[in-house]
Amino acid sequence: MANSAARIPGIPPHYSFALGEARVTLVADGALSLGNPTTTFKGVSAAEIESILTSHFLPIDRLTIDQNIGVVDIRGKRALFETGMGSDQSLGPYAGRLQDSLRQASISPASIDALVCSHAHPDHIGGICADDGEPLFPNATVYLSKVDFDFWTDERNLGTNLDLGVRIARKNLMPVRERIAFFDDGEEFLPGIRALFATGHTLGHSCFMVTSGDEQMYLIGDLSHHHVLLLERPDLQFVYDIDPEQAVVSRLKALDMLAETRTQVLAYHFPWPGIGHIGAWKSGFRFFPKPMAF
Ligand SMILES: [Zn+2]
């Protein structure tokens, strides 16, 4: 209980640092409750999940993950990566804090030029429009893969087990349809910002590399939802993956690259603020948080 009590919305955090000539400000949408971890991952026994979590001093009865949103000022453009849950509370009452967090960081929604989304799940596109369909970032172009847009706005998926995701995607994406730009794999679609497809979690899931001067930051999106489980056991399948086997292939490829090149990452769902490095460790990987500098 102590853990969840500590997550009752208070002052939304923000944290800012330089990346080459660019400026990165991290804001928070708040925490998501994913329920019992033993039902969230496939291909592993409950005993092993509990053993890994226990060895990291984490609770075994509930999985809580963060939503770390990056605002990047780079070469005259301001891009915001992922938009949080908006008003949807299907993953608990502690999310939907983006607008408060931006206010706290003195960032006006009207100053955002680009909303960059790794994929079209509710916790990534849920904060694009208000409940009445009004765009919450009036001057922003929305960047997303076409595959994800087509899949998650497809009305034929309504009434299936994808129903909630499709309804939330349609609510947030259809009102801004004319302002959506699709990026291709490998494309530098904004100055210094490149899309790198890592499909499987969704069919158009993408990661992003931000480059400024001689510094880089790789935004992992939902390549790994958990800073321990899906790194120590990168072969695990996550219950929300559309193509779990492909997700494992993409995860292993990207994690190998990140460990090999020692590239800084921003991990959307890792513990706040989600900045650090991923290194090879035992038969998998480990997240090494970067100390915050105040
Ligand atoms: Zn997510």
Query: What does the pLDDT look like over 90-127, one tens digit per residue?
Result: 999 999 999 999 999 999 999 999 999 999 999 999 99
What is 147-159 written as a DSSP string? HHHHHHT-GGGTT
Report how far residue 49's alpha carbon sits from residue 32's, in angstroms, rounded to the nearest whole number.
19
Q: 65 C-alpha to center of ligand 1: Å?
A: 9
* C-alpha of residue 106 to centroid of ligand 1, in Å: 25
Ligand 1 mean position to 205 CA, how many Å? 10
CA of residue 35 to ligand 1 center, whole Å: 14
Quick one: pLDDT at residue 8? 46
Q: From the CA of 291, how far away is ligand 1's center (Å)?
A: 24
Confidence of residue 293 (pLDDT cuts 50, 70, 90): confident
- Residue 9 confidence (pLDDT): 54
Separation of 104 CA from ligand 1 center, angstroms?
23
What mean pLDDT is predicted for residues 53-74?
96
pTM of the model: 0.95
Distance 44 CA to ligand 1 centre (A): 21
Select the more confidently predicted residue: 11 or 214. Answer: 214
Distances (CA, A) of 48 to 37, 41, 52, 222: 11, 11, 6, 22
Helices (H), 120-196: 122-125, 146-152, 163-173
Residue 2 has pLDDT above 60, yes or no: no
Does pLDDT of 243 surpass 50? Answer: yes
Report how far ligand 1's centroid is from the alpha carbon of 135 (Å). 21
Q: Determine which of 12-16, 162-166, 186-190, 229-233 has the lowest per-residue pLDDT on average.
A: 12-16
Mean pLDDT of the chain: 94
Cβ–Cβ under 8 Å, residues 118 and 206: yes
Q: Is the pLDDT of residue 5 over 90?
A: no
